[in-house]
Structure 1
Amino acid sequence: MIVSIKPVCEIYGEERLNEKNISIDHFVPWAYVAHDELWNLTPTTRSMNSRKSNSLPDWNTYFPMLCKSEYLSYEMMWEYPEIHAAFEKCAKEHLNNQEIKHKLYQRGLSEREFSGRLEEVMLPVYQSAKSMGFSNWSLRV
């Protein structure tokens, strides 16, 4: 829905997304988290999703880009009622922790606040996956 309203580029190779090439990636691999929580999902292309596979994207390279992408979605959720309605529908199945929902998706957060809160939620999960042996991945050399 968002890519039909505003241009969105995926965070790994920065390719522009559209309804035909979009795929959803688990930033921290599903093979580790075994859930589809919204805060861990990022739009990408099918080919990039395959390239990344079950690896951890390099935190310093990709987390800031993830924050920008997620914040764009957050802003649009509050700007467009149809996106907010779609978010609420998805949140029923893909946001199982109400504390995280309140922390990340309450109205009025600045980009800095949102990014800091997203990091509080994601970094421990990311570090745990790394300590369990998930390999670091970067498209850029």
Structure 2
Amino acid sequence: MIIMIHPVTEIYGGNRLTDKDTISIDHFIPWSYVTHDELWNLNPTTRSINNAKSNNLPTWDIYFKSLCKIEYFAYEMVWKYDSVHDAFEKCANNNLNESEVRRQLYQPNLEKMEFCNTLCNIMLPVYQAAEKMGFRDWKMIN
């Protein structure tokens, strides 16, 4: 829905996402580790990049800042457009299972720094646990 309103660039290769048929939803921290589809862990990319990333962890220092940027952009769109807000609410019912995360991360009027710090506090411990379980580091090879 968002790409129909405003262009979106995926975080790994910098590809502009324009065609919903070529978009794949990536689990930043692999689904095989988290076994959930929580919104805070999902980001759009291309099918080919998602396949290349597979069950690996994107290098935190390279990709988290870009993930935060795209997540905050989506957050802003939720509060700017009623249609996006309605779609978010429908998704949130199934993809935001922790009420504390929803309260902290998806409340209105968050500044980007606060949003990104909160997202980091949610994701980094999970990311580090996945590393300790042997999930391999990954970065896009151009």
TM-score (norm: length of structure 2): 0.97
- C-alpha distance after superposition, 1:22-77 (max 9, x if no partner): 11000000010000000000000000000000000000000000000000000000
Structure 2 partner of 1:37:
38
Which secondary structure state, in structure 1, belongs to the residue aligned with residue 129 of structure 2? helix
Structure 1 partner of 2:29:
28
Structure 1 partner of 2:75:
74
The letter for the 2-side match of 1:108 is N
- C-alpha distance after superposition, 1:84-139 (max 9, x if no partner): 00000000000000100010000000110000000000000000000000000001
Matched residues, number: 141
Question: Structure 1 residue 20: deviation in Å?
Answer: 2.2
Q: Which ranges in structure 1 are unaligned for 5 or more consecutive residues?
A: none
Which secondary structure state, in structure 1, belongs to the residue aligned with residue 24 of structure 2? strand
Q: Which ranges in structure 2 are unaligned for 5 or more consecutive residues?
A: none
Structure 2 partner of 1:134:
135
Structure 2 partner of 1:93:
94
> Does 1:110 pair with 2:79?
no
Question: 2:23, 2:72 → 1: CA distance?
Answer: 18
Structure 2 partner of 1:5:
5
Q: Which runs of 4+ in 1 moved over 2 A?
A: none
Question: 2:22, 2:84 → 1: CA distance?
Answer: 20
The letter for the 2-side match of 1:3 is I
Question: Structure 1 residue 14: deviation in Å?
Answer: 0.7
Question: 2:28, 2:55 → 1: CA distance?
Answer: 9
Question: Structure 1 residue 21: deviation in Å?
Answer: 1.4
Question: Structure 1 residue 140: deviation in Å?
Answer: 4.5
> Does 1:61 pair with 2:58?
no
The letter for the 2-side match of 1:37 is E
The letter for the 1-side match of 2:11 is I
